[in-house]
Structure 1
Amino acid sequence: MERTTLSRRTFSKGLAGMAALTAAGTLGLAGCGGDTAESGSTSASGDGKTYKIGVLQLTEHAALDAANDGFVRALDESGISYDIEQQNAQNDQSACQTIASTLVNDGCDLILAIATPAAQAVAGATSDIPIIGTAITDFAASGLVDDNDAPGGNLTGTSDMNPVSDQIDLLVQLVPDAKTVGLLYCTAESNSDIQVALAEEALDELGIAHERYTVSSSNEIQQVSESMVGKVDAVYIPTDNTISAGISTVTMVTNENNLPTVVGEVGMVEGGALASVSINYEELGYRAGEMAVQILTEGADPAEMPIEQMTADECDLVYNQETADTLGIDVSFLADEGGEDVSA
């Protein structure tokens, strides 16, 4: 099969409309105006105001952590003064709802929601406070906005819709003899369902069979991963938060059983997967932070701010050389095309 050339590129901060398909370790709910889990302030805002900002992150893993870091960096670089309340729901839906309600009741000026379930919880708690979402695949399909180009409410943000077809092309380059691909994801995440449907479409066009392997919680990851062994020739994983948080469990199984795994983002490659055409989540969060500053200081209306999305040309080609060596797969062509080795 002729190989499609992929290259490593950097993120562009331009606006882009999005197509329709395109607990807790620290649940100290102190509130935006009280003692905070993490607070920060920079030079005083032009109007002398200190903004109250709440953050609800679904769970801890490299991609969502990076988006959070990027958001805070944008606030710092903007020169505004702010207090920030950082909360992590540890992938617990009821904790998401509790935290969302608390942030709303404490009168935040703006709330950042990281990942789809977090955004859904915050959106259900307020229709007045501006909400910025990030690390969300499709805002419209998830019921968060009326339209990705014209949100129409109090919520907007940045999408992590993946270049799924490019990721499938990469899988085929790395495993050219693959006849069946396993699609591993969590059924509780609507963002994953969207990406898996796109992956199936891409595989159908290539004449490659595929099979869904799903978990409903992190407790099932090892068992389901083991169930793929001997049944598929390679594995594709979208930007699924549950699987990403448990990627070391997945790759323990796949790498020991010579099963190449192509994934949705760089954090999973760092965790032992083989390769990805990956969004830069820190830059995704940074752009979400820029949108937040526009709302807070310039009076920008979330209803009129299109969801922003990265394209394949703005993503990074990454691979794990240690995993490639374990699997006996030659990835030298990825380095030749500008790919980055992210192995430890």
Structure 2
Amino acid sequence: MKNIIKKVLSAALAASLALSLAACSGGNNAAGSVSSSGSAGSASQTGDGKEYKVGIVKFMDHASLDQIESKVQQELDAKSAELGVNFNYADYTFNGQGDSTTLNQIAAQLVDDGVDVVVPIATSAAQVMQSVVTEKGIPIIFAAVSDPVTAKLVNSMDAPGGNITGVSDALNTDMIFDMMVAVNPDIQKVGLLYSKSEDSSKKPIEEAKAYLDAHNIAYVEKTGTNTDEVSSAVDSLIGEKVEAIFTPTDNTVMSAELAIFEKLNDAKIPHYTGADSFALNGAFFGYGVDYDDLGAKTADMVADLLVNGADPATTPVVVLAHETATINTETCQAIGLDLDDVKAAFATLGIGVEEITTAKSFE
């Protein structure tokens, strides 16, 4: 009966997302289908082989979230062998394709499946999962939620207070602008590009405005809720003659980056962003947490919850440190910046540089 339900759900999700799939970047997973990457962890011969059902829900396809999903799965496999249990995620991994209706259907399916924990990747996925699965007593360990307090997922970072905790990719917005100013001390106008529909963007955009106001730098805001709207927003920012553009950890813009970076290159406008995956997809610059580390830490928290009985209500949200700026060397050259000069500017702030070239996804 369960297999029949899954088939019906997959068909329903595929039909409901026929239009939205075109707006998502890349990805091989059909909405609502089991992920093709990874497999259920194999139990150690020395353990009791107890199976735990781990639901993994990725908000949409793009390089950052794909990277996190893959690392969570790899670490769960490692923990399965280490602890002598079976973290079965392969039967319970879903892709929400950026659609709230689909995410709600997935949440209902995971409840029906009786999973032991849900791992939503990104703020929007976490919010939908919280609204459905926590009512059934299923705990949540989220990944890549930039501001879980503002998103109303937890009461505080130190004491979440509910059946939910996880790992945050909170952004050091001021440092990004310090680096922007270090590269161009005379900058006069900055574009702010983001989606109003994403809670993860609200706080860093407020921080960006405060920074720019304090430094007497003008700014222009443009938003979009899909790739076409983001592309139009970029056209407007180019027309406004901004000298640089800032985007936080915004999934909507991230999914559109491959469609907009060449426009920005032609206009000689550097795009400063909140994750290295933006730079992988053509943006000039990315700065934020290491998503491999984030995925591994998320999986470790899942293991601690399920095997050791850790209480989400008293388990602090983990915030990883920011260490490295990622520069797309092809884009750096295309917009007329000298890589050595950029490195020297960042060095004055104690920031190292990791070099990358444009690709669709991480290897």
Residue 202 (structure 1) shift: 1.7
- Residue type matched to 1:268 in 2? F
Aligned to 2:353: 339
Give the aligned CA root-mean-square deviation in angstroms.
1.9
Are the equivalent residues in 2 in contact too, given 1:157–1:288 (CA < 8 A)? yes
Are the equivalent residues in 2 in contact too, given 1:174–1:331 (CA < 8 A)? no
**TM norm structure 1:** 0.87
Residue 218 (structure 1) shift: 2.6
Alignment partner of 1:26 out of 20, 25, 30: 30
Residue 318 (structure 1) shift: 1.2
Aligned to 2:194: 185
**TM norm structure 2:** 0.83
Are the equivalent residues in 1 in contact too, given 2:55–2:93 (CA < 8 A)? yes
Aligned to 1:251: 261
Alignment partner of 1:109 out of 96, 113, 116: 116
Identity %: 31
Aligned to 2:298: 288
Structure 1 or 2: more helix by fraction:
2
Matching of residues 126-137 of structure 1 within 5 Å? 126-127=133-134, 128-137=137-146
- Residue type matched to 1:279 in 2? V
Are the equivalent residues in 2 in contact too, given 1:37–1:86 (CA < 8 A)? no
Residue 277 (structure 1) shift: 2.2
Distance change >3 Å, CA 29–CA 276, structure 1 → 2: closer
| Bigger relative contact order, structure 1 or 2 (CA pairs below 8 A, ≥6 apart) | 1
Alignment deviations for residues 281-316 of structure 1 (CA, whole Å, 9 cap, x no partner): 11111101100000010000111100000233xx22
Residue 243 (structure 1) shift: 0.4
Aligned to 2:8: none
Aligned to 1:121: 128
Q: Helix, strand or coil: the match of 2:228?
A: helix
Unpaired runs of at least 5, structure 2: 1-16, 22-28, 359-363
Q: Helix, strand or coil: the match of 1:229?
A: helix
**Partners of 1:296 and 1:303 in 2: how far apart?**
14
Unpaired runs of at least 5, structure 1: 1-22
**Partners of 1:205 and 1:83 in 2: how far apart?**
50
Aligned to 2:328: 320
Aligned to 1:9: none
Alignment partner of 1:236 out of 243, 246, 252: 246
**Partners of 2:355 and 2:41 in 1: how far apart?**
36
Are the equivalent residues in 2 in contact too, given 1:144–1:155 (CA < 8 A)? yes
**Partners of 2:274 and 2:179 in 1: how far apart?**
11
**Number of residues paired by the alignment?**
316
**Partners of 2:224 and 2:319 in 1: how far apart?**
28
- Residue type matched to 1:274 in 2? F
**Partners of 2:262 and 2:125 in 1: how far apart?**
29
**Partners of 1:264 and 1:209 in 2: how far apart?**
20
- Residue type matched to 1:330 in 2? D
Deviates more, 1:74-83 or 1:124-133: 74-83
Residue 250 (structure 1) shift: 2.1
Q: Helix, strand or coil: the match of 2:219?
A: strand
